Amino acid sequence: MSRGREAEAPFTVMGVVNVTPDSFSDGGLYLEATAAIEHGLELEEQGAAILDIGGESTRPGAAPVSAEEELHRVLPVIDGLTERGAAARISIDTSKAVVATEAIAAGATLLNDVTALRGDPEMAGVVAQTGVECCLMHMLGDPRTMQDDPRYDDVVAEVKSFLEQRMEHAVRAGVAEERILLDPGIGFGKTVEHNLELLRRLDELVALGRPVVIGTSRKSFLGRLTGRQDPADRVPGTIATCVLAYERGARVFRVHDVSGVHDALVVTAATVAPWTTRPTSSTR
C-alpha cells in the first residue's frame, strides 16, 4: 500500500518518470516501458501521489524528439501503470498538443508543460476541452539556449509577471483558473543566484493564489553549491530546498527521490501547521 495518503497530507509529491535516453540525471534508466512502469509503482509506494511521465528531455542542449517517438515512449508506460492499478494520478510532461491529447485519452489528468502553453498553439485548447489540470512553468528562452548567460533585473518580479500573463492566456482560452498550477522553473534559464532568490522569495509567487510546484530535484545549482558532481548525490540538497519551499508556501514537489522528500515534508508539515490525520501513529 502506498505511504502517500496525500488526500490528507497538505503537500503532494510528484515522482519523476523519465522515459528518455538523455535526461540529465536518470537518462536511459527507464527507457524500456517495463522498467519505467516498475519505477513508477515504486515511487508511488514511496509516497508519490502524482507520477510525471516524460518522453523528451529538457536539459540544456537536449536533442528535440518527434511527437511519434515521444508517444512511443510514454503511452505504453501510462497504459501499463493503469493496467497495474496505480493509484497515483498521471501527469504528462510534454509541450506537444498531440502527445498531451493521447496521454489524456490514456488516463493522464495533469499536463505539465514547461513552455507554459507557448510550445504548441493547440495546447491551451486541449487543456480547456479535456478539463485536465495544467502546470504552467517559467522558462527563459528555450532548452538549447536557456543557460547562456540568463539575466533579469528582478528575477522574482519577472517570473511572477510571466506566470500571471500565462495564467491569463490560459483562462482566455477556456482553462478554468482553479485547474492551473504554477512553477518558477528552477534551472530553466537561471543562474545559481536566480534559483536561490526564487526559493527565498517564493511567497511572492504563492501570492498569485494558485498551488506552486517546485522542481529543484538533483539540479545542477545544488551540485554547484555542494560540489556534488553526480546528480544522484544531490538528494540532501533537494530535500533542503523542498523543506524550505514548503515553509514558504509551495505545495507540489517534483522529485526523482520520493522517499526522503516525502518523509522530510511529513515532518515539516506537521511542525509548521499540525494537520489532523497523521500518516502514522508511531511515537518513536
Q: Does 24 bind ligand HH2 (CB under 6 A)?
A: yes
Based on the residue annotation, tell me whether 151 is a catalytic residue of this protein: no
Q: What is the closest distance, in whole angstroms, from the C-beta atom of residue 146 to ligand HH2 in the complex?
A: 11
Q: From the candidates 166, 219, 234, 251, give the one annotated as an active-site residue.
A: 219
> Could you tell me the CA-to-CA distances from 145 to 24, 62, 118, 229 in Å, in that order?
16, 10, 16, 22
In the region spanning residues 213 to 232, those forming contacts with ligand HH2, defined by CB under 6 A, are 213, 215
- Pick one of 15, 17, 19, 23: the residue that binds ligand HH2 (CB under 6 A): 23
Based on the residue annotation, tell me whether 254 is a catalytic residue of this protein: yes
In the region spanning residues 151 to 190, those forming contacts with ligand HH2, defined by CB under 6 A, are 183, 185-186
What are the b/e assignments for 185-219, b being 16+ CB within 10 Å? bbbbbbbeebbbbbbebbebbbeeebbbbbbbbbb
**Backbone φ, ψ for residue 92 (5° rounding):** -105, 125
Nearer to ligand HH2, 119 or 270 (CB): 119
- How many residues contact ligand HH2, by CB under 6 A? 21
Contact between 57 and 18 under an 8 Å Cβ cutoff? The reply is yes
Using H for helix, E for strand and C for coil, what is the string for 189-256?
Answer: CCCHHHHHHHHHCCHHHHCCCCCEEECCCCCHHHHHHHCCCCHHHHHHHHHHHHHHHHHCCCCEEEEC
Contact between 36 and 81 under an 8 Å Cβ cutoff? The reply is no
Query: What stretch of H or E contains 104?
Result: helix 97-106
Q: What is the closest distance, in whole angstroms, from the C-beta atom of residue 185 to ligand HH2 in the complex?
A: 6
Q: What is the closest distance, in whole angstroms, from the C-beta atom of residue 137 to ligand HH2 in the complex?
A: 4
- Pick one of 71, 103, 124, 137: the residue that binds ligand HH2 (CB under 6 A): 137
Query: What are the grid coordinates assigned to 140, written together?
Result: 527563459
Fill in the per-residue mask, 77 to 106: x = in contact with ligand HH2 (CB under 6 A), - = not in contact: ----------------x-------------
Residue nearest to ligand HH2 (CB): 215
Q: What is the closest distance, in whole angstroms, from the C-beta atom of residue 171 to ligand HH2 in the complex?
A: 19
- Pick one of 9, 13, 16, 74: the residue that binds ligand HH2 (CB under 6 A): 16
Q: Is the dihedral of CA 91, 89, 40, 268 positive or negative?
A: positive
Binding site for ligand HH2 (CB under 6 A): 16, 18, 20, 23-25, 54, 57-59, 93, 112, 114, 135, 137, 183, 185-186, 213, 215, 254
Which sequence positions are flagged as catalytic?
219, 254
